[in-house]
Structure 1
Amino acid sequence: MRLLDKIIIVTGSTMGIGKSIAKKAVSEGAKVIIHGLEEELGTQVVSEIGEENARLHIEDISNEGAAQRLVDLAIKQWGRLDAIVNNAALVVPSNISTTDKAFLNRVLEVNTIAPFQLIQAALPFLTESRGAVLNIGSVNAWSGEPNLLAYSISKGALMTMTRNLGDTLIRENGVRVNQINPGWVLTEKEIERKRAHGLADSWYEDLPALYAPAGRILWPEEIAAAAIYWLSDESGPISGQVMDLEQYPMIGRNAPKDTSTIANK
């Protein structure tokens, strides 16, 4: 039990990577706050992992006071807080022509500012427990795809915040801050996006080797397995680190010759 008796907030955990992290955390002995926008899906997650192990909070993470309400719920239910996972995010297509100020502000509010506010709200309790923050970024933080401009900007900013606070908070508060950058992951949302693009539901079964050298893309459970290390005491004093979770190097890789591929991760 690598997370025995730890109390963890996982934002965006009604589906996808967040759901997998929450379920894996409970299997390792933690109790979790499930958060998201989809009440029916959230209720199902709580049912799957056991009502004694989870509480559900449905709210847009960018709402004023939402971060404090998540922290208050954890403290009210279990009296402590050991870790937060900033996973909730808007993954929306945009480029230089379609990204206006309002759109960019909205993406930044959810993907970058809301995680910062949750860290702020949780910090007094994480200081008490000498806890951990795990930010869920994206390999798009390094530069991003042509049609993921605003999203890539937001994840790049999150990565810089992780490195900055990872240094500051371990020194001043004993709180570790780290980040994982998943690559292409087979989530429910990814399947929906590809369906909206007109692809068959079996699109992921035959991918170009350029994007799936191993013959498939990542599973949410594999991201969750990696997350447990950063949330547990096994990672010791390590802080301010960003780890890419993809099956090929992001920097120095040859660009594709065919730009009409399926990717758009």
Structure 2
Amino acid sequence: MRLRDKVIIVTGSTMGIGKAIARKAVAEGAKVIIHGLEEDLGLAVVQELGGENAKLHIEEISVDGATQRLVDLAINSWGHLDAIVNNAALVVPSNISTTDKAFLNRVLEVNTIAPFQLIQAALPFLTKSHGAVLNIGSVNAWSGEPNLLAYSISKGALMTMTRNLGDALIRENGVKVNQLNPGWVLTEKEIERKREHGLADTWYEDLPALYAPAGRILWPEEIAAAAIYWLSDESGPISGQVIDLEQYPMIGRNAPKDTSTIPNK
């Protein structure tokens, strides 16, 4: 087991990528803190994983003290902390006309500032365990789509923070900090967003090759499989790295000429 006896906080893990990472971590021998806003879904995840392997904390991640309470729960439950996964995020459409200061601040609070605060709260314990931070970003960090402005800004900031702390913390604390940038992933929320756009629940079964060269988009379990390497000792001292997980190059690819057929990712 690649994560035997490691204690890991996974934010935003009541569904989607976070849930997939928590499942895979427990399968590899870890104990996990499940976090999110949906108590019914969180309880179901804990029941699936077993109370001896998972504890639940329901709270908005940007609330004052929330990140410290997550760390306290991990320490009170198992006595140590080996890794954190900053996965919780607001994925909300906006552009230059619809993004005001309050909206941008809100997205940054959840997607960038809260991950920073969780790293701060966890750092004393991660230093003891020579642990790991894994930030879950997005390929939108590189520039993003016109209607994902605030979200893209927040993920770009997260990426810079990963590279900065990845250098500083491995030197000063022995803690590695890395980031995964997933592309288009078939999560429950993504299905819900497309339903709100008027698409059928089967929209993902017939996507243009432009968006899905392999014939489908990514599954949460595929992101989780990649996450285990960076949370485990297998990745050694590698730190400050950002890894894109998409089925086509994010830099240097020709821009699509017609984006009207598919709503935003």
Secondary structure of 1:51's counterpart equals coil
Counterpart-to-counterpart distance in 1, 2:261 and 2:148: 15
State the shift of 1:263 in Å: 4.4
RMSD: 0.4
User: Match of 1:250?
Assistant: 250
Which runs of structure 1 show a deviation greater than 2 angstroms over 4 or more consecutive aligned residues? Answer: none
Amino acid of the structure 2 residue aligned with 1:205? E
CA offset digits 1:104-141 (Å, max 9, x no partner): 00000000000000000000000000000000000000
User: Match of 1:220?
Assistant: 220
Tell whether the 8 Å contact from 1:211 to 1:263 is kept in structure 2 after alignment: no
Secondary structure of 2:52's counterpart equals helix
Secondary structure of 1:63's counterpart equals coil
User: Match of 2:57?
Assistant: 57
Secondary structure of 1:33's counterpart equals strand
Give the TM-score of the pair, scaled to structure 1: 1.00
Counterpart-to-counterpart distance in 2, 1:48 and 1:191: 23
Counterpart-to-counterpart distance in 1, 2:226 and 2:114: 23
Unaligned runs of 5+ in 2: none
State the shift of 1:257 in Å: 1.3
1:133 equivalent to 2:133? Answer yes
Tell whether the 8 Å contact from 2:26 to 2:53 is kept in structure 1 after alignment: yes
Counterpart-to-counterpart distance in 1, 2:187 and 2:84: 21
State the shift of 1:259 in Å: 2.2
Counterpart-to-counterpart distance in 1, 2:102 and 2:16: 27
Counterpart-to-counterpart distance in 1, 2:241 and 2:263: 27
Give the TM-score of the pair, scaled to structure 2: 1.00
Counterpart-to-counterpart distance in 1, 2:184 and 2:28: 25
User: Match of 1:122?
Assistant: 122
Counterpart-to-counterpart distance in 1, 2:195 and 2:9: 31
Report how many aligned residue pairs link the two structures.
265
Between the aligned residues of both structures, percent identity stands at 89
Counterpart-to-counterpart distance in 1, 2:120 and 2:258: 44
Amino acid of the structure 1 residue aligned with 2:167? D
1:23 equivalent to 2:23? Answer yes
Amino acid of the structure 2 residue aligned with 1:168? A
Task: Return 10-19 or 253-262, whichever deviates more.
Answer: 253-262
Task: Return 253-262 or 56-65, whichever deviates more.
Answer: 253-262
Counterpart-to-counterpart distance in 2, 1:37 and 1:201: 24
User: Match of 2:74?
Assistant: 74
Counterpart-to-counterpart distance in 2, 1:18 and 1:102: 27
State the shift of 1:102 in Å: 0.2
